[in-house]
Amino acid sequence: MGKRQPDDSRATRLGRARGSTVEAVVRAVVVRRESGRLGVLAADGVRAIGVSNFLQDHLDTLLAETTTVPAVNQFELHPTFQQAALSAKTRAHGIAVEAYSPLGRGTDLNAEAVTTLAQTHGATPAQIVLGWHLGVGNIVIPKSVNAHRLRENLAASEVTLSQDELDAITALESGVPIAPDPAEAAFTQMYSSG
Ligand SMILES: NC(=O)c1ccc[n+]([C@@H]2O[C@H](COP(=O)([O-])OP(=O)(O)OC[C@H]3O[C@@H](n4cnc5c(N)ncnc54)[C@H](OP(=O)(O)O)[C@@H]3O)[C@@H](O)[C@H]2O)c1
């Protein structure tokens, strides 16, 4: 299977890909604004909203068409697929970046830079990857069904990487995603792969 395009080219395809769930969500928010129903959020006591899989054009539409600024944008982000431009755009609007599949579903844990730093710090590869996320300012939601790994992942907050070490992990970018393209996928496709 050939490599998929990195995120920057994804955004340019949004104009042609109008059938995805994220596109539908953006349109629904705009419709709520046009019908005056966005105010219902505040009236119901909702203080903040989060979005997921919003690419750059989705954020542009939301912010141009409504006064709703999400508190957080959750999207695929791990050392080999960092979506740097989307992260920068998200942060520039004061929106927190939340990484899903933060371990690359385990596939990023075998990279040499990760295993070398794990030895240096007396940490596990997962803790190094999570330490990298925290070091560059990402919120992380690693998934594990294993209690030992849950504790291990929580303890990653004690791992502090130097700038050079952060850069060594950042250099693992390959532009190859795991999840389907949010510009084209339906909701069920985004989660069925998780
Ligand atoms: N918004 C979306 O569209 C979207 C899409 C995908 C995922 N998500 C969310 O993102 C979260 C995590 O993503 P994900 O499950 O795709 O990927 P992930 O957290 O990067 O990786 C999970 C995999 O890594 C393993 N793992 C966890 N901790 C480990 C450790 N310390 N050492 C070694 N292996 C470890 C897990 O195995 P074990 O369970 O066997 O430990 C599992 O196979 C989930 O809560 C999910 O709901 C959101």
Beta-bridged to residue 46, according to DSSP, are none
**CA of 38 relative to ligand 1 center, distance in Å:** 33
- φ/ψ (deg, to 5) at 37: -90, -5
The pTM for the full model equals 0.86
Q: Choose which residue among 75, 103, 192 to substitute to test ligand 1 binding: the one with the highest number of ligand atoms within 8 A of its C-beta.
A: 103
The confidence score (pLDDT) of residue 42 equals: 57
**CA of 15 relative to ligand 1 center, distance in Å:** 31
The answer to whether position 165 is within a domain reads: yes
Q: Which residues approach ligand 1 with their CB closer than 6 A? A: 52-53, 74, 100-106, 109, 124, 126, 141-146, 149, 152-153, 179, 190-191, 194
pLDDT, one tens digit per residue, over 61-91 is: 888 887 778 999 999 999 999 999 999 999 9
> Is the Cβ–Cβ distance between 105 and 160 less than 8 Å?
no
Which tokens belong to 181? 């393209």
Which tokens belong to 76? 């695929």
The confidence score (pLDDT) of residue 15 equals: 43
User: Which amino acid is located at 62 in the chain?
Assistant: L
The CATH number assigned to the domain holding 74 equals: 3.20.20.100
Positions of the chain with pLDDT under 50: 1-9, 11-17
What is the tally of structural domains in the chain? Answer: 1
First to last CA, the chain: 19
Of 129, 117, 169, whose CA–CA distance to 153 is shortest? 129
The answer to whether position 146 is within a domain reads: yes
The residue nearest atom 10 of ligand 1, judged by CA position, is 100
The answer to whether position 32 is within a domain reads: yes
The Cα 143–Cα 35 span in angstroms is 38
The answer to whether position 1 is within a domain reads: no
**CA of 39 relative to ligand 1 center, distance in Å:** 35
> Is the Cβ–Cβ distance between 79 and 173 less than 8 Å?
yes
**CA of 144 relative to ligand 1 center, distance in Å:** 6
The confidence score (pLDDT) of residue 61 equals: 87
The confidence score (pLDDT) of residue 13 equals: 45
Atom of ligand 1 nearest to the CA of 178: 16
Structural domain harbouring 169 = 7-192
The confidence score (pLDDT) of residue 183 equals: 85
How many CA within 13 A on the CB side of residue 7? 25
The confidence score (pLDDT) of residue 49 equals: 83
